[in-house]
Amino acid sequence: MIDVTILVNGVPRRVPADLSLAAALWRLGIHRFRTDRDGAPRAPVCGMGTCFECRVEVDGRTGVRSCLLPVREGLRVELPA
Amino acid sequence: MSAPVLARRLDLVVVGAGPAGLAAADAAAGVGRQVLVLDQAPRPGGQIWRHRPGDVLPVEARTLLDRVRPPRVAVACGASVVDAPGPGQLIVDFGGRLAAVETGAVVLATGATERLLPFPGWTLPGVVGVGGMQALLKAGLPVAGSRIVIAGSGPLPWPVAAALHHEGAVVEEILEQADALAVARFALSLIGRPATLARALRYRAATLGIPYRTGGWVVRAEGTDRVTHAVLRVGGRERRIACDWLATAAGLVPRTELAQLLGCTVHEERIVVDQRQATTVRGVWAAGECTGVAGDRAARVEGTIAGLAAMGVERIPGALFRRRDRERRFGELLAQRFAPRRELRERVTAETILCRCEDVRAGAIDPAWSARQAKLWTRVGMGACQGAVCGLACRTLYGWDTAVPRPPLGQPPLGSWARALGEATPPSATPPSPAPPIP
């Protein structure tokens, strides 16, 4: 399978093409897609764009549902520390 | 993704590219009309036919997907409707670029989502829906060696368990919240539906060895950074089981946000439609799971009827209506046998988060409030998902009406939403006329 490089908080990571960004991030061991007000991690739930728990910042746009977005070369995603 | 090249004026916009939407688009294209199909996912097919390049799909899916593609039908994936400012007008977010789309008719085929009900620990990473687990798997999530507990309801857990097992996951068990008697009665009714029965047996054969228990549900999930254990209640006893994923939901529920935004009447969670799949709003039809969960066969025949009716075809073959009614009865049976049990509503504690977007805990809510009061005082349902998840939870827990969502749906950049609204023809101008009837 062909890989693409995405930038996770500026760090280049190789992931297989054809994955959704949500699946790619989980595959990289990332389980904190966003942080709630109590500092707890949140991650994908519905996988189909309804619940918005997987929303992340992509290429400067906030609130992007990572479960609906296929990875592509050079995609920049910002995640909470 | 950029906006597709569109005909100057569309006859039909279909929202949702699952079985219902594809069938509607196919029917309308079959009578020579200009059709655009929109779907949020990267590829058409809906949840049931979600696929990645190279995946093998059932023949009925391949046939429809082959027919519903350019140049016969315009298809825009990664596209969501964010607003509907006037009759026949939609503001569509084409992967970050918003544009106004004008059409003579709309078919809503928005499908279903999962009935996600809150319980302690349900916000932990690794706690997902049953369909959510399947969607993530199909999106490329590696699961080999992962321990997975499935606690769901109805037919969906079976194909999900089979797919996970096939990919090398360890499915620890499948819990069905309905009682053994309800499941047995459902199984008996499959005798009259040989194709469904064959499907069920195929899935059962693929999951032999996985314990299946009826009358069981999740009490809570435990973990700190992600789920590590699920506490289950089966046959009056609690059990704690280690897992990497907990896939749980209480069945499916029609997805009606866009219908509500358009002003369509929604009753008992379903978009209300007449014999010809017309909603209560002129120019808007609906088909498939968004009008009541009844499976992909119902969705396809309803889509065909809706596509023809929306294009003004007067004479729709009676056989289509008869098949639709038969599939609908199956949907009623599903709803009856797999109705969510009372105990699922009794799991929340004061600490349980109810509204995941706004971090509102159950203890902050007075069940005596109205939905409006709760919104004003706690922001429940006012987050990114606009109550798609907690609205359902509050309806189930407190009997509140689901609030009508406000535009824009999703989270489009507000500036581009305003610009797209400006591009839309003002409502005072001539609305798009419906296509002339076809005898």
Output the pLDDT for position B352: 97
Q: Is B351 left (phi over 0), alpha (psi -120 to 50) or beta?
A: alpha
- Residue ranges, comma separated, of all CATH 3.50.50.60 domains in chain B are 10-113+253-335+413-423, 118-249
Q: Which amino acid is at B379?
A: R
Nearest to A37 among B41, B128, B359 (CB): B359
In this complex, how many residue pairs, one in chain A and one in chain B, have their CB atoms less than 8 Å apart?
Answer: 124
A31 vs B361: CA distance, rounded Å: 22
A68 near B CB under 8 A:
yes
List of chain A residues whose C-beta atoms are within 8 Å of the C-beta of residue B413: 61
The CATH number that domain B10-113+253-335+413-423 falls under is 3.50.50.60
Contact: A48, B135; criterion CB under 8 Å: yes
List of chain B residues whose C-beta atoms are within 8 Å of the C-beta of residue A16: 140
List of chain B residues whose C-beta atoms are within 8 Å of the C-beta of residue A79: none
The H-or-E segment that residue B267 falls in is strand B266-267
| Distance of residue B11 Cα from the nearest chain A Cα, in angstroms | 27
A41 near B CB under 8 A:
yes
* Regions in chain B scoring below 50 on pLDDT: 1-3, 5, 7, 428-432
Residue in chain A closest to B115 (alpha carbons) equals A46
The full DSSP string for B190-202 is GGG-HHHHHHHHH
List of chain A residues whose C-beta atoms are within 8 Å of the C-beta of residue B139: 19-20, 22-23, 47, 67
B123 vs B101: CA distance, rounded Å: 37
Q: Has this prediction a pTM greater than 0.90? A: yes
Output the pLDDT for position A2: 87
List of chain B residues whose C-beta atoms are within 8 Å of the C-beta of residue A45: 116, 127-129, 132, 356, 389
Contact: B80, A42; criterion CB under 8 Å: no
Strand order in the sheet with B227-234: B216-223, B227-234, B237-242
List of chain A residues whose C-beta atoms are within 8 Å of the C-beta of residue B389: 45-46, 50-51
B429 vs B26: CA distance, rounded Å: 31
B42 vs A67: CA distance, rounded Å: 10
Strands of B24-165 (E only): list them: 35-39, 74-77, 79-86, 89-94, 97-108, 112-114, 127-128, 147-152
Contact: B411, A18; criterion CB under 8 Å: no
A78 near B CB under 8 A:
no
Total residue count of chain B as it appears in this document:
439
Fold classification of B118-249 is FAD/NAD(P)-binding domain (3.50.50)
| Distance of residue A35 Cα from the nearest chain B Cα, in angstroms | 10
A80 near B CB under 8 A:
no
The values of phi and psi at residue B395, to 5°, are: -65, -45
C-beta of residue B108 within 8 angstroms of C-beta of residue B118: no
Q: What is the ipTM of this complex?
A: 0.97
**Strand pairing category for B127-128 and B245-248:** parallel
Residues with Cβ within 8 Å of residue B422, at least 6 apart in sequence? none
Measured CB to CB, residues of chain B less than 8 Å from chain A are: 40-42, 47, 52-53, 78, 80, 96, 113-114, 116, 123-129, 131-136, 139-142, 225-226, 255, 353, 356-357, 359, 383-385, 388-389, 410-411, 413
Hey, where are the domains in chain A?
3-78
Output the pLDDT for position B433: 52
A35 near B CB under 8 A:
no
The CATH number that domain A3-78 falls under is 3.10.20.30
Contact: A23, B42; criterion CB under 8 Å: no
B299 vs B305: CA distance, rounded Å: 10
The full DSSP string for B371-410 is HHHHHHHH-TT-STTTTTTHHHHHHHHH-PPPPPP-SSPS
Cross-strand bridge partners of residue B114: B252
List of chain A residues whose C-beta atoms are within 8 Å of the C-beta of residue B353: 36
Nearest to B356 among A20, A53, A65 (CB): A53
Output the pLDDT for position B422: 84
Output the pLDDT for position A54: 97
Nearest to A46 among B53, B113, B142 (CB): B113
